[in-house]
Amino acid sequence: MSAGIVFHLLAALAYAVLAVTLWRPLSGSSEEVSAGHVRRVCLAGAIVLHGIGLKTSIMLPTSLHLGWALALSAAVWLGMLVFWVQSLLMRIDGLLLILLPACAVVTAMAALFPGGHHVAHAASDWLRIHLLIAFTAYGLITVAALQAMLMTALDRHLHRPVEPAGTGSMLARALESMPPLLVQEVLLFRLIGTGFIVLTLTVITGAMVSLAFTNELVPMDHKTVFTLLSWFIFGGLLIGRYTRGWRGRIALRWTLVGFAFLLLAYTGSRFVLDVILQRG
C-alpha cells in the first residue's frame, strides 16, 4: 500500500470523525453548530494529512501522476483551504455539515481508485504552474458548487410551512443552523469571483503550455471546450450579478451548470477512461 493511499485513508477517517461530532448534537434538540477551537485544530490536522496524501500520490520523483479521483481530491483539498481562511473572517461553521462528509467521501475514493496516468512533459515548470493554477480554480469552484447546493436546500426549507420548535427532522435542524442566506450569497459570489479570476489564469497558462508543446494556441479537445464553456458561464454570471442584480435561484442554477462543465473538463473524462473503460 502506497503512502498516498495511507494518508488519504487517514484523512478520510479524520474528516468522517469530525463530521460525526458535528452531526451528533443535531440528533437531539440542538440547533447550533460550532466548530470550536479543538475541532478547528483537528480540521487543520485533517487538511495536512490530506495534503501529504496528495503530494505523495501526485508528485513522483521523475513525473506527475494524475487520475480522476486524485484531481477531485486536489480540488476538494484546495477548497477546504479556502474555507479555513474564510472561517476566520465569517461565521460559517454550519457549512462543515456538508463539507466534512464530502471530503470524507472524496478522500476515500482517492484511496480506493489511485490509478491514473503519468503526465507528459512533467519536468516543465510552465506545466507545473498551469496545473497548480488549474487545481486552485477547480477547488474554488468546487466549494462554490457545494455552497450553491446547500443554499438551494436551505431556500426550499425556508419556503416550507413552519414546524413547532424541536419537532423538525435532524436535516431540518442542520439547515436551520446554517448561516443566513444573505451571508451565504456574499460568500458564494466571493468564491465565484475569485474562482473566475483563477480560471482565467488557467485558460491563459493552458494556452501557453499548448503553444509550447503542440504549436496550437487553443486545441479543440474536450478539456478546452468544457473549460471555456465554464469560463463563459461564470463570466456571464458575474456580469449579470453586477449589471442586472442576478441572485437567488438564477445564480444557484448557473453556478451548478458552470461547475458541471468544469467537472467534465477533466474528472469526468478520466473517470470514464480509468474506471469504466479501464484505460490509463
For 14-65, what is each residue's pLDDT tens digit? 999 999 988 877 766 555 566 677 888 899 999 999 999 999 988 877 777 7
- 228: pLDDT strictly greater than 60: yes
More confident residue, 201 or 247: 201
- Residue 24's contacts (CB-CB under 8 Å, 6 or more residues apart) are none
Long-range contact list for 261-264, CB < 8 A, 24+ apart? 261/226, 261/227, 261/229, 261/230, 261/233, 262/137, 262/138, 262/141, 262/199, 262/226, 262/227, 262/230, 264/222, 264/226
User: pLDDT band at 276, cuts 50/70/90?
Assistant: very low
Report in angstroms the alpha-carbon separations of 207 from 45, 87, 131, 265: 36, 34, 12, 15
| Contact present, 183 and 89 (Cβ < 8 Å) | no
The pLDDT assigned to 40 comes to 84
The pLDDT assigned to 214 comes to 79
What is the residue-averaged pLDDT of the chain? 81
Q: Which of 12-16, 68-72, 114-118, 253-257 has the lowest mean pLDDT?
A: 114-118
pTM, entire model: 0.77
| Contact present, 274 and 68 (Cβ < 8 Å) | yes
- 203: pLDDT strictly greater than 80: yes
The pLDDT assigned to 225 comes to 86
Each domain of the chain, given as residue ranges in start order, spans: 3-276
pLDDT, one tens digit per residue, over 130-154 is 888 888 888 888 888 888 888 888 8
The DSSP code for 268 is: I
Q: Which of 6-10, 55-59, 88-92, 231-235 has the lowest mean pLDDT?
A: 88-92
C-alpha cell at 123: 519536468
More confident residue, 231 or 225: 231
Give the Cα separation of 79 and 56 in Å (integer). 19
User: pLDDT band at 277, cuts 50/70/90?
Assistant: very low
Give the phi and the psi of residue 65 in degrees, each rounded to 5.
Answer: -115, 125
The pLDDT assigned to 161 comes to 53
Label residues 240-268 b or e (16+ Cβ within 10 Å = b): ebeeeebeeeebbebbebbbbbbbbbbbb
C-alpha cell at 208: 501557453
- 167: pLDDT strictly greater than 50: no
Give the Cα separation of 254 and 229 in Å (integer). 12
The pLDDT assigned to 121 comes to 62
The pLDDT assigned to 171 comes to 66
- CA distance between the termini of the chain: 19
